[in-house]
Amino acid sequence: MAAPTPLNKRIYTWNFWACAAITGLAVFFIIKRFFFGIGSVSNMSDGYPWGIWIAYDVVVGTGLACGGYAMALLVYVFNRGEYSPLVRPALMTSLFGYTLAGISVMIDLGRYWQAYNIFLPWRSNFHSVMFEVAVCIGAYVLVLWVEFAPAVLEKLKAEQLRTRLNRVIFVFIALGILLPTMHQSSLGTMMLMAGYKLSPLWRSGFLPLLFLLSALLMGYAVVMVESFICQAWFKTPSEMPLLIKISQFMPWLLGFYLVVRLESVNLAGNLALAFNGSLQGNMFLLENILLIAAFVILVRPGNRAQPKMLFLAAVAVVLGASLYRLDTYIIGFDPGTGWRYFPSVPELVITLGVVATEGMAYMWVVNKLPVLPKAEHA
């Protein structure tokens, strides 16, 4: 397998400038938000105090950014060194995803200038799930930067610093596995507090377990999707043999998730709600049909060997698990006082701006830093 190298292709392509334009528009609305309040750009309300900035940018976004976590678990805990070419690109997307989720939080926090209060021991509330999530995500962003540092140091030819970092990096790798395990499950615990406001199709004592499993599912699926896309766009060598190997245990993970997901609703006697034709019921069905479809594809070894089928299944997992998270935070949430929520245009533009920023950062980094395996000459 080729060592990671910078792609050294043109960065400032049409794609890059399209992303820049969206980001520019988003910055305009962000400035407006800081001068005139969150209500001036978003449709959030006292009934729906959390919109897509939390549900998509943070809850789905960090789930999609779990590639680094999922791969590190595989390589370092299950000691499967052969997957290591997938680690660095996965770490990079994790780094972007989490950093941008952090920035989104700062836009979403009403009293952002006091955000440091979380870290003041006399203010901290150890009972708060939000406290645990905030501290863990904050710490994990730092850990990701340290984990990714070798790629930067390689580029800067700072060999001495790199050797020194390599001596202690195991601590950061360990934290890089522990912290996501903690906060990804807690993102599920968080919505337990919504009580009856969360539909029984999503409310269950298994929220923490399901959020942890969905983080792993999204992590592996994103690594696959990313590998396929890089292969198509940047002509990096095919990683199919590795992807087939990862896909071997996906059916197990998916199967376990689906059993817990469906049984937790069924045992509580609430499965009938899925078929009452409501938006909540339909979204529940859609979310689970996507994941069942992926399971049906992946359970047959013959399908796993076909790039097309594997790609389809990975996309279905990404969509299904993302929808599960979005549903838990928005669709399944009903404060019960006639409130409705659909994001406003500026609100959507800010979220799109976050995605576009990630796209630009990705294009810049893969071209400048040793992340992706060396391209086959086309």
Partner 1 sequence: MKIERRDFLKGVLGGGLLLAAAADPAAGRSPGKEPPPNAVGILYDATLCIGCQVCVGACKQANDMPAEHTGPEPLWDNPRDLSAKTLNIVKKYGSGDYPVKDTVAGYSFVKRHCMHCLDPACVSACPVSALLKNPDTGVVTYDKKACIGCRYCQIACPFNIPKFEWHSATPRIVKCQLCSHLLAKGGISACCAACPTGASLFGKVEELRQEAKRRLAMTPGEVYDFPVAALGSRESQQHRAGRYIRQVYGESEVGGTQYLLLAGVPFDKLGLPALPDESFVALADGIQYAIYKGMVYPLVVLGGLIYMIRKGEGGKH
DSSP letter string, 7-47: -----S-HHHHHHHHHHHHHHHHHHHHHHH-GGGT----SS
CA-wise closest residue to 334 among 42, 60, 50, 47? 47
233 binds partner 1 (CB under 8 A): no
Q: How far is the CB of 99 from partner 1 (least distance, A)?
A: 19
110 φ/ψ angles, rounded to the nearest 5 degrees: -65, -45
Taking CB under 8 A as the criterion, which residues in 239-258 touch partner 1? 248, 252, 255-256
205 binds partner 1 (CB under 8 A): yes
Contact 370, 26 (CB under 8 A): no
Contact 63, 116 (CB under 8 A): no
CA atoms within 13 A on the CB side of 147: 28
CB within 8 Å of 52: residues ≥ 6 apart = 330, 343, 347, 348, 351
Q: How far is the CB of 75 from partner 1 (least distance, A)?
A: 8
- Residue of the chain from 93, 104, 186, 236 that contacts partner 1 (CB under 8 A): 186
Give the separation between CA 110 and CA 101, rounded to whole angstroms: 16
- Residue of the chain from 2, 21, 82, 125 that contacts partner 1 (CB under 8 A): 125
How many residues belong to the site for partner 1 (CB under 8 A)? 73
Window contacting partner 1 (CB under 8 A); options: 128-136, 151-159, 214-222, 278-286: 128-136
Window contacting partner 1 (CB under 8 A); options: 125-133, 153-161, 310-318, 354-362: 125-133
Beta bridge partners of 333: 198
Give the separation between CA 221 and CA 223, rounded to whole angstroms: 5
Closest to partner 1 by CB, 2 vs 115, is 115
CB-based burial label for 165 (10 Å; 0-12, 13-18, 19+) = middle
272 binds partner 1 (CB under 8 A): no
- Residue of the chain from 21, 193, 232, 279 that contacts partner 1 (CB under 8 A): 193
Q: How far is the CB of 11 from partner 1 (least distance, A)?
A: 35
173 binds partner 1 (CB under 8 A): yes
- Residue of the chain from 118, 240, 285, 315 that contacts partner 1 (CB under 8 A): 118
38 binds partner 1 (CB under 8 A): yes
181 binds partner 1 (CB under 8 A): yes
58 binds partner 1 (CB under 8 A): no
Closest to partner 1 by CB, 141 vs 360, is 141
CA atoms within 13 A on the CB side of 223: 32
Torsion of CA 288, 290, 296, 302, to 10 degrees: -160
SS3 333: strand
Closest to partner 1 by CB, 236 vs 264, is 264
- Can you say how many angstroms the Cα of residue 24 is from the centroid of all Cα atoms in its chain? 23
109 binds partner 1 (CB under 8 A): yes
- Residue of the chain from 182, 244, 296, 315 that contacts partner 1 (CB under 8 A): 182
Give the separation between CA 326 and CA 243, rounded to whole angstroms: 27
Closest to partner 1 by CB, 234 vs 249, is 249
Q: How far is the CB of 206 from partner 1 (least distance, A)?
A: 6
Residue carrying structure tokens 């919109």: 51
Window contacting partner 1 (CB under 8 A); options: 21-29, 175-183, 230-238, 355-363: 175-183
3 binds partner 1 (CB under 8 A): no
Window contacting partner 1 (CB under 8 A); options: 37-45, 273-281, 316-324, 364-372: 37-45
Closest to partner 1 by CB, 252 vs 364, is 252
Contact letters (x/-) for partner 1, 336-365, by CB under 8 A? xx----------------------------
- Residue of the chain from 171, 232, 272, 345 that contacts partner 1 (CB under 8 A): 171
The crossing angle, in degrees rounded to 10, of helices 307-326 and 207-234 is 140
The crossing angle, in degrees rounded to 10, of helices 207-234 and 240-267 is 150
Residue carrying structure tokens 């590998």: 227
Contact 312, 250 (CB under 8 A): no
- Residue of the chain from 13, 40, 163, 278 that contacts partner 1 (CB under 8 A): 40
